[in-house]
Amino acid sequence: MVQSPDTVDGSMEGCVMLALSTFRKSEKAIDVAIDKARNVKKLMVVYVVDVNLARYLVDVDHEMVPEYTKTCESEVLKQHEREGRKHIAAIAEKAKKEGIEVKFHLQIGRFALVCLDVAQQAKPSLILTTRSNRPAWVKKFFGAPVDDLIAKAGCPVSVV
């Protein structure tokens, strides 16, 4: 579900891509991305509302009515989507003050998959991201999406 009014197109080729998510937020990464984007004058902000977020918060094994579980998951994702929009707006405002063109992509999904899709379309010269603050048990069982991004991005990925 794409939630961005800004389309990812060829006009962003060579941009700096800042990849953030529900679990990946870093003021330092934002500052580094804006600093790097000063050279190319283009910043693509990708914000992924992690689809697993609701599952961490809503007990899916509980004997809730299935419709209620889906409603709870949906509300959690909507809340984090709204927070993501605010975060993107603040980043865009900061970058635009530096004369940097900003486009964004906000999507509910899986971090690495969304970022790789956007990177394929935008063709950034660099991707900046940060490690997640997910629980250690999640990383152990599901791996680290940043590692997938690094391996498959097709451009340098810097983890701040």
CATH numbers and ranges of domains, the chain: 10-159 (3.40.50.620)
Mean pLDDT of 1-26: 76
Instruction: Give the angle subtended at the CA of 27 by the CAs of 26 and 32, to the nearest 5°.
Output: 100
Put simply, whether the predicted model's pTM sits higher than 0.85 gets the answer: no
Mean pLDDT of 53-69: 58
Q: Are 34 and 142 contacting, i.e. CB atoms less than 8 angstroms apart?
A: no
> What 3-state class would DSSP assign to 107?
strand
Question: Using CA atoms, how far apart are residues 68 and 32, in angstroms rounded to an integer?
Answer: 42
pLDDT value for 5: 46
Phi and psi angles of residue 97, each rounded to the nearest 5 degrees, phi first:
-65, -25
Question: Using CA atoms, how far apart are residues 19 and 109, in angstroms rounded to an integer?
Answer: 13
pLDDT value for 30: 97
Mean pLDDT of 78-91: 94
Task: Flag whether pLDDT at 3 surpasses 70.
Answer: no
Phi and psi angles of residue 98, each rounded to the nearest 5 degrees, phi first:
-95, 5
Mean pLDDT of 120-124: 95
Task: Flag whether pLDDT at 1 surpasses 50.
Answer: no
